[in-house]
Structure 1
Amino acid sequence: MPRQHRKRTKLAHVLKFVFLTAGAAAMGVALELFLVPNQMIDGGITGISIILAKLTGLPLGIFLFFINLPFLLLGFKQIGRTFAFSTLYGIAVLSVTTSLLHPVPAFTSEKLLALSFGGVLLGAGVGLVLRFGGSLDGTEIVAIIVSKKRRLSVGQIIMFINLFIFLAAGFVFGWDSAMYSVFTYYLATKVMDIVIEGLNESKSVTILSSEHEDISDAINERLGRGTTLIYAKGGYSKEDTLMVFCVVTRLELAKLRSIVQEIDPGAFIAIEPVYEVLGGNFQKKSIH
């Protein structure tokens, strides 16, 4: 491997580590200094953890870490080792951050300010972690698995789960807090949308490279996704070539980019949103 290529790969790993840390820490700040002191919750495992911390008096970080662990093991089998380790690191940073900040007084007791700043920080933090190949909540992993067995989208499953979580928050924190929480979740979702450039469950990826065979094989072997080689002809060069086409989930997109750039840093990559995938056996192969 050329020295310049090794430096580029090492820098990419360092940046990934930095942004995973920043994203998880931002979510911890949002929870402990804005949302939880004002009795607002997030959706998913985080919402469940906040409710349990309120009912038991135990630190929030304990629930965030241990409730997510079983779903992390599922993610290891379904999405791969890199995703699992990135998620484990992100959740560990999140848990430590909430524990360190728990004694710190809230920045504000004004509900609207807490909702606004907490929601933006929360969405930005989750978005950064997703963008760099990890996750901070096991709910999405469950949704991806269930969606393969039921005719429901990932978004529909997450919405269904969160409906019950926000209803539970109404009984624990009061209905005003539950309604504030819904708006917080909505704001965080929109910010996350901006950070990761779309909340679509799947992305179609077209790759143009002279190393198309190696890239296709690597996607099959390391990501567990099938690819299609499409014959094409250069409009300027008039040379025949092959394009690599595949469809991946948004959690797999960061790893796919890494695979392609590792093989051919100059490869042309076009990414498009896919709003629905039907047929074609859109299943992951086992990763060895």
Structure 2
Amino acid sequence: MPQDFVNVKSANRQKKLTKAKLLKRMIFVPLGALLVAAGLEIFLVPNNIIDGGIIGISILTAYLSNINLGLLLVLFNLPFLILGYKQIGKTFALTTLVGDLILGIGVALFHPVPVLTEDLLLASVFGGICIGVGVGLVIRHGGSLDGTEILAIIFNKATPFSVGEVVMFMNVFILGSAGFVFGWDRAMYSLIAYFIAYKTIDLTLEGLDQSKSVWIISDQYQEIGEAINARLGRGVTYLNGEGAYTGDDKKVIFTVITRLEEAKVKNIVEDKDESAFLAVGDIHDVKGGRFKKKAIH
């Protein structure tokens, strides 16, 4: 096959992949922003419950000043949008701008919709789920709806604190402020909504079929590797290792599985070598090789 033809075919494939990603972004970023807007206007805001970050600051400011919430969400995120453009890139900034604008419009559209529940716990749970899924979809497709993460990245470069620590500090301050404005019971429900949103973001980003890395050290490495390959259809890699204490040469098995296959791998290792060392860790993304996510049979 001529090399020029191969190059053209590869370029066309890359172009299709780019178009597919762009199409997904055009669908899921607006969808995510609208889900966040629904969570705010249908569940949280009518019950005086807030979320963390810029969204929480916007809710508090809108309540105290009677300024439109959608307008505040866009205005408060603009400075962080500029920072995001400088720190992360043009594509991120453009995707974030689209998400913020749709979020502002969505808040205005959902504002006349009657509140679905006045039960504070239900409002916290379902509002948190809507926000978590919405924010997760936007992040998964290259954008952001909250500027605190961008600010945390900048602080992380100038201070000894991690991004997570900076975000946590800011949100403790924001959620604590809700106690002075709405009452301490609302602040506690806000904390519930924030925690549920945080966990839902993780679930949306990682998916239900989250991948896991597996490391196994055993003298029966070949039997274990063959069993994993035969029973799960997973490829394994044998790595050379050395015991730091004994200096003995060791073979280390490495493979990637789905969450549903974890129990089977543990059973295989126990059957072949009860004294084997086994470590399982979460993986956020897997690409390349022969790995395909699939359900176990």
Q: So what's the TM-score if we normalise by structure 2?
A: 0.66
Alpha-carbon separation, structure 2, partners of 1:153 and 1:28: 29
Q: What letter matches 1:155 in structure 2?
A: G
User: Shift of the alpha carbon at 1:9?
Assistant: 2.1
Alpha-carbon separation, structure 2, partners of 1:165 and 1:116: 19
- Alignment CA distance shift 1:269-1:74 (3 Å): farther
**Percentage of identical aligned residues:** 50
Alpha-carbon separation, structure 2, partners of 1:19 and 1:97: 14
Instruction: Please give the root-mean-square deviation of Cα atoms over the aligned residues, in Å.
Output: 2.2
Alpha-carbon separation, structure 2, partners of 1:84 and 1:196: 19
User: Shift of the alpha carbon at 1:12?
Assistant: 1.7
Which residue number corresponds to residue 244 of structure 1? none
Q: What letter matches 1:196 in structure 2?
A: L
- Alignment CA distance shift 1:176-1:75 (3 Å): same
User: Shift of the alpha carbon at 1:5?
Assistant: 3.9
Check the 8 A contact 2:34/2:103 in 1, yes or no.
yes
1:117 aligns with 2:130: no
Alpha-carbon separation, structure 2, partners of 1:190 and 1:80: 27
Which residue number corresponds to residue 55 of structure 1? 64
Q: What letter matches 2:67 in structure 1?
A: L
1:85 aligns with 2:94: yes
- Equivalent runs, 1:106-145 vs 2, <5 Å: 106-145=115-154
Alpha-carbon separation, structure 1, partners of 2:88 and 2:170: 21
Alpha-carbon separation, structure 2, partners of 1:21 and 1:151: 36
User: Which has the higher relative contact order, 1 or 2, with Cα contacts under 8 A spaced 6 or more apart?
Assistant: 1
- Equivalent runs, 1:231-250 vs 2, <5 Å: none
Of 188, 202, 211, which aligns to 1:193? 202
- Alignment CA distance shift 1:24-1:194 (3 Å): same
Q: What letter matches 1:166 in structure 2?
A: L
User: Shift of the alpha carbon at 1:132?
Assistant: 0.8
Which residue number corresponds to residue 166 of structure 2? 157
Which residue number corresponds to residue 6 of structure 1? 15
1:76 aligns with 2:72: no
Alpha-carbon separation, structure 1, partners of 2:110 and 2:99: 16
Q: What letter matches 1:128 in structure 2?
A: L
Check the 8 A contact 2:53/2:171 in 1, yes or no.
yes
Alpha-carbon separation, structure 1, partners of 2:157 and 2:18: 33
Alpha-carbon separation, structure 1, partners of 2:17 and 2:77: 33
Alpha-carbon separation, structure 2, partners of 1:160 and 1:104: 34
Give a deviation string over 1:231-271, Cα, whole Å, max 9, x none. Answer: xxx98xxxxxxxxxxxxxxxxx99xx9xxxxxxxx95499x
- Which structure has the greater CA radius of gyration? 2
**What secondary structure is seen at the aligned counterpart in 2 of 1:171?**
helix
Give ranges in structure 2 of 5+ residues lacking alignment. 1-7, 208-236, 239-283, 292-297
Alpha-carbon separation, structure 1, partners of 2:23 and 2:108: 25
**What secondary structure is seen at the aligned counterpart in 2 of 1:77?**
helix
- Alignment CA distance shift 1:143-1:18 (3 Å): same
Of 167, 171, 174, which aligns to 2:180? 171
Alpha-carbon separation, structure 2, partners of 1:169 and 1:10: 43
Alpha-carbon separation, structure 1, partners of 2:79 and 2:106: 21
User: Shift of the alpha carbon at 1:101?
Assistant: 1.0
Which residue number corresponds to residue 249 of structure 1? none
User: Shift of the alpha carbon at 1:4?
Assistant: 4.3
Q: What letter matches 2:201 in structure 1?
A: M
User: Shift of the alpha carbon at 1:107?
Assistant: 1.1
Which residue number corresponds to residue 23 of structure 1? 32
Check the 8 A contact 2:54/2:73 in 1, yes or no.
yes
Alpha-carbon separation, structure 2, partners of 1:4 and 1:70: 37
User: Shift of the alpha carbon at 1:164?
Assistant: 1.1
Alpha-carbon separation, structure 1, partners of 2:150 and 2:14: 33
**What secondary structure is seen at the aligned counterpart in 2 of 1:64?**
helix
Once the two structures are overlaid, the 10-residue window that deviates more, 71-80 or 104-113, is 104-113
Alpha-carbon separation, structure 1, partners of 2:105 and 2:153: 27
**What secondary structure is seen at the aligned counterpart in 2 of 1:47?**
helix
- Alignment CA distance shift 1:38-1:18 (3 Å): same
